[in-house]
Amino acid sequence: MNLFREILSPLIAVAAAFIVGGLIVVAIGDNPFQTFYLMISNSFGSLDDVGYMLVYATPLIFTGLAVAVAFRCGLLNIGAEGQLYVAAFATAWVGIKFGGTVVEVFGKQEDWSWYSLPPVVLIPFSILTAMVVGGIWGAIPGYLKAKFGSHEVINTIMLNFVAIALVSYFTQYHYKVPGDPNLQTAQIGEAARIPRISQLVPGMSDFVPLSVAFLIAILACILVYIFLWKTKWGYELRAVGENPSAAEYGGISVKKQIILAMTISGSLAGMVAIGEVMGDRYRYYHDFSGGVGFLGIAVALLGRNHPLGVFIAAIFFAILSRGGIFVDAFTRYVSKDLVEVLQAVVILFVACLQRYRK
In angstroms, rounded to a whole number, what is the distance separating the alpha carbons of residues 161 and 157? 7
Residues 89-131: pLDDT tens digits? 999 999 988 887 655 554 555 555 557 889 999 999 999 999 9
- The pLDDT tens digits of the residues spanning 241-258 come to 999 999 999 999 999 999
Any residues with CB less than 8 A from the CB of 66 and at least 6 apart, and which? 77, 80, 83, 138, 265, 266, 267, 268, 269, 296
> Three-class SS of residue 110?
strand
Amino acid 106: pLDDT = 47
Residue 358 to residue 356: CA distance in whole angstroms: 5
Asked if pLDDT for residue 6 goes beyond 80, the answer is no
CA atoms of 235 and 166, how far apart (whole Å) = 36
> What is the reported pTM?
0.93
pLDDT of residue 251: 93
pLDDT higher than threshold 60 for residue 132: yes
> Does residue 102 sit in helix, strand or coil?
strand
Amino acid identity, residue 22?
A: G
- The predicted-structure confidence for 328-338, as pLDDT tens digits, reads as follows 888 888 888 88
Domain ranges for the chain, please list them. Answer: 2-357
Q: Report domain 2-357's class.
A: mainly alpha
- pLDDT tens profile 189-239: 899 999 999 888 888 888 899 999 999 999 999 999 999 999 999 999 999
Closest CA to 280 of 80, 95, 67: 95
CA distances from 292 to 12, 34, 79, 91, 332 (A): 24, 27, 11, 18, 28
pLDDT in tens, 273-316: 999 999 999 999 988 988 899 999 999 999 999 999 999 999 99
> What are the pLDDT digits (tens) for 142-160?
999 999 999 999 999 999 9
